[in-house]
Amino acid sequence: MLNTKSIAAIFIVLMVGLSSTRVLDDYVDDYTTDSIKNAALTYATARGINALVSMMQSSEVQAGVGIVSGSMTIGELLDPINDMIERFSTVMTWVLASLAAQKVLLLLASHELFLYLVAVLGISALLLLFYGSPRVQSPVFRAFLVVVFIRFALGLAVALNSGVDYMFLDRQLQANDTEIEKFQANIIGIEANDEFDTDSIRDSAIAFWRSLSLEELENKISAGIENFINLVAIYLLKTIVFPLGFFYVAVYFIKLLWRVELNIKASS
């Protein structure tokens, strides 16, 4: 039957071997890169809508566009979506910063220097198991455990996050992204992916919005705001709430790992 020393030795060898194979590195790097690209595209779409709305509002003032219903003007109707986009842009800035930070941390955890650190601590811990003083064995083994945890934990967290995305969030995210793109196209009265003449955007957009009833205008704006709110909730969950939850769990486990005692003499 294996004793504590043998189990610890096997564990050290396995962890050093897994660290050198970069099992999760490529996958989590591709995932974070794709997440940054998708978030950046969503942010760009929102800023594009913001630019179109601002153009229509300023054109209404300068060109004297007529009243839509009663004393309600196009610019006044578009104010809520404009405010929503400004808040959404702020959130997306934090989302992109969070994703960029995760990517940097993943790169650090998979850097060759970190791999060497895992190997050096692993070899040191392995040698100390058989030839070292009991007073030194536990501190070095604890340091090895903490470094191994940091090496793999962030990658595992990102992998788990991608699993949650796949099962629960991706479809909602894609659906809301598609609706936002449609909303952007509908602002100027065209279908998504249709080509249009940039020189006539203002005139066609104003003509389109003036052709709608007040109820249709309000429905379009409400749908746009709802999609932006959904995107805010999804991005906050996947890029800020989940990582923060992981951070607190990681701190808890690191504290536990730092209390590990080998007790080789008692178990041998």
3-class SS of residue 260: coil
**Does residue 61 register a pLDDT over 50?**
no
Alpha helices in the chain (DSSP H): 4-21, 25-63, 74-109, 112-131, 134-164, 170-187, 201-211, 214-236, 242-257, 264-267
State both tokens at 10.
């096997």
Q: Check: CB of residue 88 under 8 Å from CB of residue 231.
A: yes
Least confident of 55-64, 110-119, 197-206, 214-223: 55-64
Sequence length of the chain is 268
Count CB-CB contacts under 10 A for residue 174: 11
* Per-residue pLDDT reduced to its tens digit, 229-244: 999 988 888 888 888 8
* Per-residue pLDDT reduced to its tens digit, 241-261: 888 888 888 888 888 888 877
Check: pTM over 0.95? Answer yes or no: no
State both tokens at 134.
């009991």
